[in-house]
Chain A
Amino acid sequence: MEHIPILRLGRFLLVTIQVDMHDQLAMVLQEELTDRIVRDRARGVLIDISALDIVDSFIGRMLSNIAGMARILDAETVVVGMQPSVAITLVELGLSLPGIRTALDVDRGMALLKSAIGEDQEGDLGRHG
C-alpha cells in the first residue's frame, strides 16, 4: 500500500506531501496521522504542502479534518509552504480552510507549534534538564 511518510521530531509529527495524492491516499494519511498522534503522544502536527501544485476541495477537506481530529486528540496542526497560486485558487474555489493554522515555511510553522502548546525554546530545554 502507498504511504506518505510521517516523521517524528520531538513532540511533533512532520509530514511532507511530495506526491499528487489520489483521494484514497489522502484518506490513508488522515488515518495514519491520527493513529501516530496517539501512539507518539504528539502535541503538534506540521504538514508541508510546498510540493503540492494544487489543493482541491477534497485535499482541503482532508487538511481541515486532520486539524479537527488532531485538536480533539490534544495536538495542534500547522500547514506550511502553500504556493501563492494555490492560495488564490483556494479562495476563489470558496475554501478558506477553517480551523487550520498556516505558516509560510517549516521554521515559522515549528515556532507557531511551539508557542501554541506553550513551549518556547527555553521551556523545551528546561524539560530536557
Chain B
Amino acid sequence: MGATVELPLRAQEDVVVVRQVVRTHAVKIGLSLVDQTKFVTAASELGRNTVIHGGGGTARLEVIQNGMRQGIRVTFEDEGPGIADVERAMQDGYTTGGGLGLGLGGAKRLTSEFSIETAPGRGTRIAITQWRNK
C-alpha cells in the first residue's frame, strides 16, 4: 500500500491537479464523501499556501496503513520564508496574503491529523492525514 505520488506546486493550476489527484486517492481508499470533501478542501488551502506564501514547492501524497486502518497523507513542502509565529498563523482571520486567513486553522479542523514544521528562513512542511473510519 506504499503508493507515493509527488506533485509540483509552482502555479495556481498545480493546485487544481493536487485537488484532483488527492480526490482520486481518497475515493480509492474508500473515504466517505464528506471526509473526501473535507480532505480535498484542506489540501486546496495548503496547496495554495505553498504556491503563494512558500514561493512554490511540492505535495507528496501517500496511502498509509496503521494496522487495519487505511489512510491518506499529503505533505506540503516549500523552501520559502517560513512562518515566524505559528500559533498566530493558525488562528482564523490571520492573513498576510490578502486571503481570509482560514487556511491553516481550517485545514487542521478538516483533517484527522495535522502537523507543521517551520522556522523563519527555513521553509515550511505541513502534513495532513485522514484515516478511513471503521
Residues of A within 8 A of B (CB): 20-24, 53-58, 60-61, 83, 85-86, 88-89, 92-95
Shortest Cβ gap from B104 to chain A (Å) = 11
What residues of chain B lie closer than 8 Å to A58, measured between beta carbons? 44, 48, 99
Question: Once the chains bind, are A93 and B102 in contact (CB under 8 Å)?
Answer: yes
**CB-based nearest B residue for A24:** B12
B65 at the interface (CB under 8 A from A): no
Q: Number of A-B pairs whose CB atoms are under 8 Å?
A: 70
What residues of chain A lie closer than 8 Å to B99, measured between beta carbons? 57-58, 61
List 6 A-B pairs, minimum CB-CB distance, nearest first. A85-B37, A93-B106, A56-B44, A22-B12, A23-B12, A57-B102
B33 at the interface (CB under 8 A from A): yes
What residues of chain B lie closer than 8 Å to A53, measured between beta carbons? 23, 37, 40
B110 at the interface (CB under 8 A from A): yes
Shortest Cβ gap from B25 to chain A (Å) = 15
Question: Once the chains bind, are B41 and A93 in contact (CB under 8 Å)?
Answer: yes
Against A, the Cβ 8 Å flags (1 = close, 0 = not) of B82-101 are: 00000000001000000110
**CB-based nearest B residue for A59:** B44
Known contacts A23-B15, A92-B110; is A61 also within 8 Å of B100 by CB?
yes
Known contacts A20-B20, A95-B100; is A89 also within 8 Å of B12 by CB?
no
Q: Is the interface of B mostly helix, strand, loop or mixed?
A: helix
Q: Which of B15, B20, B34 contacts A89 (CB 8 A)?
A: B34
> A54-B40, A88-B38, A89-B41 are known contacts; what are 16 more A-B pairs with Cβ within 8 Å?
A20-B16, A20-B19, A22-B16, A23-B12, A53-B23, A55-B41, A56-B48, A57-B103, A61-B99, A85-B34, A85-B36, A89-B38, A89-B110, A93-B41, A93-B106, A93-B109
Question: Once the chains bind, are B102 and A89 in contact (CB under 8 Å)?
Answer: no
Q: List 26 A-B contacts (CB under 8 A).
A: A20-B16, A21-B16, A22-B13, A22-B16, A23-B12, A54-B19, A54-B41, A57-B102, A58-B48, A58-B99, A60-B100, A85-B33, A85-B36, A86-B37, A88-B34, A88-B37, A89-B37, A89-B38, A89-B41, A89-B110, A92-B38, A92-B110, A93-B45, A93-B110, A94-B92, A95-B100
